[in-house]
Amino acid sequence: MNVFLQNLIPLIIALIGAMIWLAFNALILVYCERKFAGHIQRRPGPFEVGPHGILQPLIDGVKLMGKQLVRPDNADPVLYWLAPILSMLPVLLLYMPIPYGPVLTGMEVNLGLLLILAFSSFNGLAVILAGWASNNKWGVLGAARAVSQTVAYEIPLLLTVLTISFMTGTLNLTEITALQAGHIGHWFIWKQPLAFLVFLIAMFGETNRAPFDLAEAESELTAGFHTEYSSMGFGLFFMAEYGYMVVMCSLCTVLFLGGFHGPIPGVEGWWWMLAKTYGLLFVMIWARWTFPRVRFDQLLNINWKWLLPLATFNLLATALIIKL
């Protein structure tokens, strides 16, 4: 077997694993989101289908796939159908460099951190294409708002990631995880609490989650950039959003919470990574059903007046301390 096939086969296996992981997360998160909404806001709907509402995600999926795929008149046919695919496909690559266990990494990449930041930007391109190609003014306005929000929150997110990279001297996520081995005191959240806080808030803005879900403000933009999408056209955007949530929470776990390492020496495994990642996901779901949505000017002010200066100060302070 030549070298090309030796590298290609593990990559294909990793991509299939990423697809299964993405589909599994979509089902689990839909169920959790509905159950959380039901309990927090006393909504009876999520408890009706199956025992304690356990069949609700399945019914949602069947309903979504059963709807007709339609395209508005005068919409660009190529760009219109390309947008949801372009939103979905990069998510699979984002899972590749994340170490979920000691030997559970899809693809070892020295520039794994850079790869995640680069490919996550494709979502902004997909949003622009969806809004522009829909031939709908609400779609264009929603796309403009979503992209301005995503670009704004990417900057403090990038600065906090650079802080960890400066400290560790590497962009390899496996090496960053290894440097936090041992006990809970080695986790970078204690060395970089400000970076963790900024990353956490920017993560909400980057994934368009409440209270920063202005891109889909129903009362102003009907459904934002995907107003004209139905059936699995909308479904792919929906799955991509959950996919990006899992990627961001996994990245936060690797950078600040020790990755797959447990809080005491010698205890490690994929279950720690899963527990920490899902802990962060539950915080995101809880925030959606608890806090009111902010205004768009407030959303941008939080970023440009607070997050960006704090992230810049933290990066410069870290660089100065390392230099000294």
Note the pLDDT tens digit of each residue in 184-204: 999 999 999 999 999 999 998
Q: Is the CB of residue 148 less than 8 Å from the CB of residue 142?
A: no
Length of the chain: 324
pLDDT of residue 222: 67
Cβ–Cβ < 8 Å for 98, 173: yes
* pLDDT at residue 268 is higher than 80: yes
Task: Give which of 234, 239, 221, 242 is closest to 80, Cα–Cα.
Answer: 234
**Residue 70 pLDDT more than 80?**
yes
| pLDDT given at position 215 | 65
Banded pLDDT at 180 (limits 50, 70, 90): very high
Q: What's the pLDDT at 52?
A: 79
Q: What is the mean pLDDT of the chain?
A: 86
Instruction: Give me the residue label for tokens 């590497």.
Output: 170
pLDDT at residue 216, rounded to an integer: 65
- pLDDT, tens digit (0-9, with 9 covering 90-100), for 218-239: 556 566 788 888 888 888 888 8
Q: What is the mean pLDDT of residues 62-79?
A: 85
Q: Which residue has the higher pLDDT, 210 or 29?
A: 29
Phi, psi of 261 (to 5 degrees): -80, 140
Secondary structure, 3-state, 43-68: CCHHHCCCHHHCCHHHHHHHHHHHCC
- What's residue 307's pLDDT? 93
Q: Please classify residue 269 by burial: count the beta carbons closer than 10 Å to its beta carbon, then call 0-12 exposed, 13-18 middle and 19+ buried.
A: middle
3-state secondary structure of 210: coil
pLDDT score, position 28: 85
Buried b (16+ CB within 10 A) or exposed e, 83-107: bbebbbebbbbbbbbbbbbbeebbb
Tell me the whole-structure pTM to 2 decimals: 0.90
Task: Flag the least confident range among 152-161, 273-282, 288-297, 314-323.
Answer: 288-297
